[in-house]
Structure formats: structure tokens, C-alpha cells
Amino acid sequence: MEDRDWHILHALYKYKNITKTAQSLYMSQPAVTGRLQQIEKELGITLVQRGRRGVNFTPQGEYMARTAEEMLKKYQKIKDDLLSMDDKVTGTLKIGVGFFFTKNKLPRVLKMFKERYPEVEYKVIAGRSKAIHQLIFNQDVHIGFIRGDYSWNGEKHLLFRDTLCVVSIDDFDLAELPYKPRIDYGTDVVLKSAIDNWWTENYSVAPLVGMEVDYADACREMVMSGLGYAIMPSMYFHGDQLVKKEITDKNGEPIIRTTSMFYHEESLQSNLVRAFVEFVKQLDFESIL
């Protein structure tokens, strides 16, 4: 089998579709089909069976697909180890990062790191913090930038804190919130739990949710249009002319939203990862916009 065969099996298991697999690998459909047939002939097995809704993996195919993921990870580690035998900082850095960090912090960070180490390339996966936490846990990425207090047995470096605020285009009294339209947005369970706990500690009725949106950026725009208030981390509204009031816990302490860099200690054996971690630790993230 060739190296690209593992990529084909891995992608096909993900998409369950020859066309999508070919597109993801920048190959033609006949080329993908041809390689699958060659693998089956070489190993004397049937990998997949075509159905109306795509392909179905045989038990042998399922085993080969799982093995493909392991093989690709091992091959990447071999390449990283070989690069680390030299003093150069080069290779592809795999980063998992939340949407807020992707938009507001990461571009500047990567630009500065690229200026120092021009041979470095990046693979960036953006998503909600829970998904990024799973990626770094599985070692699918080298570095995870995660918002919220997630449990972690590896290495973790705090980047910055921001407070939770009630935000509105008009002035308001916190006591009046149950009677004002609220805009909610899709977020991770850690932040949602913090907001829900604060609400139940302060009000005996449910909030008047007038709108729900998928992402924080959409929520921000709705608030700025005067369609309601929102409870969000303060950094989402940096520099905006809005009324912001910090919320506190039952002890009167601000409710904090943290952003941290997660990584595995053993990954520091890579020159690339070690250089990036050391670089990030020196940055002042509150000044990066």
C-alpha cells in the first residue's frame, strides 16, 4: 500500500461518499475507485459495498479505516521526529482554536510567528471549545486554544481572562432583565452553565428570550442593532459604544471567562511545537487585536 491509500481510506470512512472523498483529496473519482480496487486486490478482501446512500464498509474495511487513522498519526510523528533531529523550526503546526480566538487573536499570532520562522506551515481547525478540547485530548492537533475551564491532565498556560457582562445598546437596570428581550447564542456547556447559574441565583423567573442565534458574532450584531440584551464575555464588545455591566457570583466576585493554551508535554520534543509554545508564552494577548 502507498501512503496516499491511508489518506483515501481515512477520508472515505469520514464522508462515506466517493465524490466527497475525491474532492477532499484533490483526486478524480476514477483515481479513488482505482486505488480502492488495487488495495482490495492486493489484500484479497472487499473493503466497501456501494449503496444508494453512499458506501458501506465491510468488517475488513472498518478495520482498515481505523488502522488508517493510526498509520497517519504514526507517519506524522515520524516526520516530526525527523525534523526535530535538526535545529531548524520547520514543518506543519496543527492548531485547534475557538471561533472568537480565530477571529480576534490567531491571525496576528501566526503572522508574528511566521515572520520569525518562515518555513513553518499551519493547519488550523476552528470550532467550539468542547470540540477543540476533544481534538487536543486525542492528539489530533499539537496546540489547543480553549475558552473556559476544561479539565486537563497535560500542560496548560493561561493566556488571558475576561469578565461576563450584560450588554445592551441602551442603559438598563439589572433588576429589569426578566422583562427585557434577551438574545441567546450557541456556546459551549461551560459558559452556558455559568450564565444559567447566575440567572437562577438572581431571578425567580425564566429569561424572556426573544431571539436565538448560532454564534457569538451574530449575537453581537443583534445587540448592536438594539434588538435586545445579551450576556457575553466582555471582549466580544471591545471598543464598542455599548452599556456593559459586569455580573458577579453570590460572593460578589466577577464571573471570569478564561482562555488557555493546551498541549501535551511530550509534544515539546518537537522543535516546532516547543518554539511555538515558548513564543506564545511571551505574548501579551490583551494587546493583540
Mark whether 166 and 281 lie in a shared domain.
yes
pLDDT score at 88: 80
Identify the domain boundary among 52, 83, 114.
83
pTM: 0.69
pLDDT score at 239: 66
Mark whether 115 and 238 lie in a shared domain.
yes
Kindly give, in sequence order, each residue whose CB lies less than 8 Å from that of residue 96, ignoring residues fewer than 6 positions away: 124, 125, 126, 127, 131, 132, 135, 136, 140, 141, 143, 144, 145
Q: Is 168 exposed, middle or buried (0-12, 13-18, 19+ CB in 10 A)?
A: buried
Mark whether 255 and 176 lie in a shared domain.
yes
- Domain of 170: which CATH number? 3.40.190.290
Q: How large is the angle between the packed helices 29-43 and 3-15, nearest 10 degrees?
A: 110
- 78-82, 228-232, 234-238, 258-262: least confidently modelled range: 78-82
- Domain extent, residue 43, equals 3-83
CA torsion sign, 12 to 15 to 16 to 20?
negative
- Asked if the model's pLDDT at residue 287 lies above 90, the reply is no
Mean pLDDT of 233-262: 88
Mark whether 140 and 249 lie in a shared domain.
yes
- Domain of 60: which CATH number? 1.10.10.10
Instruction: Say how many domains are in the chain.
Output: 2
Identify the domain boundary among 65, 83, 101.
83
Give yes or no for a contact between 190 and 148, defined as CB atoms under 8 angstroms apart.
Answer: yes
Mark whether 66 and 103 lie in a shared domain.
no
Share above pLDDT 90 across residues of the chain, in percent, rounded to a whole number: 46
Mark whether 169 and 199 lie in a shared domain.
yes
- Asked if the model's pLDDT at residue 213 lies above 70, the reply is yes
Share above pLDDT 70 across residues of the chain, in percent, rounded to a whole number: 97
Give yes or no for a contact between 258 and 164, defined as CB atoms under 8 angstroms apart.
Answer: no
Give yes or no for a contact between 24 and 10, defined as CB atoms under 8 angstroms apart.
Answer: no
Give yes or no for a contact between 166 and 231, defined as CB atoms under 8 angstroms apart.
Answer: yes
Mark whether 76 and 103 lie in a shared domain.
no
pLDDT tier for residue 236 given thresholds of 50, 70 and 90: confident
pLDDT score at 137: 92
Mark whether 264 and 198 lie in a shared domain.
yes
pLDDT score at 126: 92
Q: For the chain, what is the mean pLDDT? A: 89
pLDDT in tens, 57-73: 888 888 998 888 888 88
Identify the domain boundary among 83, 112, 139.
83
pLDDT in tens, 138-187: 889 999 999 888 889 999 999 999 899 999 999 999 999 999 999 999 88
SS (H, E, C) the chain: CCHHHHHHHHHHHHHCCHHHHHHHCCCCHHHHHHHHHHHHHHHCCCCEEEECCEEEECHHHHHHHHHHHHHHHHHHHHHHHHHHCCCCCCEEEEEEEEHHHHHHCHHHHHHHHHHHCCCEEEEEEEECHHHHHHHHHCCCCCEEEEECCCCCCCEEEEEEEEEEEEEECCCCCHHHHHHCCEEEECCCHHHHHHHHHHHHHHCCCCCCEEEEECCHHHHHHHHHCCCCEEEEEHHHHCCCCCEEEECECCCCCECEEEEEEEECHHHHHCHHHHHHHHHHHCCCHHHCC
Mark whether 167 and 141 lie in a shared domain.
yes
- Asked if the model's pLDDT at residue 83 lies above 80, the reply is no
Mark whether 216 and 288 lie in a shared domain.
yes
Mark whether 251 and 136 lie in a shared domain.
yes
pLDDT tier for residue 219 given thresholds of 50, 70 and 90: very high
pLDDT tier for residue 201 given thresholds of 50, 70 and 90: very high
Tell me which of 237 and 37 has the higher pLDDT: 37
pLDDT tier for residue 86 given thresholds of 50, 70 and 90: low
Mark whether 107 and 218 lie in a shared domain.
yes
